[in-house]
Copies of this chain bind each other. A is one copy, B any other.
Amino acid sequence: MTAGSFIHPTAIVADDVTLHDGVHIGAYSVIHPGVVLASNCFIGSHCELGVPVGGGRLPATGDNGRLVIGPDSTIRSGGILYTNSVFGSRLECGHRVTIRENTTAGENLRIGTLSDIQGDCSFGDFARLHGNVQVGKGSVLGSYVWVFPFVVLTNDPHPPSHHCIGVTLEDFAVLGAHSVVLPGVKLGRESVVGAGSVVKSDVEPGVLAAGSPARKLCMASIVRDKVNPAKRAYPWQAVFDRGLPWQGVGYAAWRRENPDAGLPTNQEERR
């Protein structure tokens, strides 16, 4: 046992697991071979980490790949994470999250209760998914994107077929609750999609779109704050900062100090 760690006596931890200092593993959790938990990770009860590809028996070869969880992460109870994925620091999962194999994420990814990442996906830094989101295979989500409840990112243009064409969310894009995005669609930087939309074609950067099919309504930057109409609601990063790197500093000041954070060059690297 590493320094300051707590492993509940009912947790089942395979031999080939790497635990750094200050790790907590809750009751009745199962940690399969190949899992690496960096320092101060909290794993709740009833979790299953390092699920083998296919979701069934461990491979007869003994090589289960690797699932790497960055430091200071929290995986709340009931989480199921497959092997062959890498998460940066401060991953935060709600309850009963599912994340399949070949997923990569930068820092501070947050995924809400019951959300389901279907694998072969990538996330930038500070991506935020609320609960009950389904991210189809092959999706590419940038940094500082927001996806609200019951959104589905699809990937098959005429299902069922052998095609898999993921959705792309550029940095700072916002996708409203109960929307579905059709395969291959790109939501541009700082674009906003209203709740209950069916998004069939690309949304240009900074545009607010809504409806079924979603159409451009206006530039998001002209939307006024409902509570304080003297303020603008978008771009959201100018008015919202909770849990974000510009908290208490303001986005403009932070951006001057961090001119490259979440810019398209990073996004290209992530692909």
A residues in contact (CB < 8 Å) with B: 10, 12, 24, 26-28, 30, 42, 44-46, 48, 51, 55-57, 74, 76-78, 80, 94-96, 98, 113-114, 116, 118, 128, 131-132, 134, 136, 146, 148-150, 152, 154, 157-163, 165, 174, 176-178, 180, 182, 195-196, 198, 211-212, 223, 225-227, 233-234, 236, 239-240, 242
A226 partner, pick from B51, B150, B158, beta carbons under 8 A: B158
Cα of A245 to Cα of B56 in the assembled complex, Å = 22
Q: A46-B28, A46-B46, A134-B132 are in contact. Are A226 and B157 (CB under 8 A)?
A: yes
Cα of A182 to Cα of B196 in the assembled complex, Å = 10
Chain A at the B interface: mostly helix, strand, loop or mixed? loop
Q: Which of A128, A158, A234 has the most CB of B within 10 A?
A: A158
- Residue pair B236, A161 in contact (C-beta under 8 Å): yes
A160 partner, pick from B128, B158, B226, beta carbons under 8 A: B128
- Residue pair B196, A195 in contact (C-beta under 8 Å): no
Cα of A51 to Cα of B27 in the assembled complex, Å = 13
- 5 closest A-B pairs by beta carbon, nearest first, are A196-B198, A158-B233, A178-B180, A157-B226, A55-B76
Contacts of A161 in B (CB 8 A): 225, 233, 236, 239-240
Q: List 25 A-B contacts (CB under 8 A).
A: A10-B10, A12-B27, A48-B78, A55-B76, A55-B77, A55-B94, A77-B80, A80-B96, A96-B98, A98-B113, A98-B114, A114-B116, A128-B160, A132-B132, A149-B152, A158-B225, A159-B176, A160-B174, A162-B242, A165-B226, A177-B180, A178-B178, A178-B180, A180-B195, A195-B198
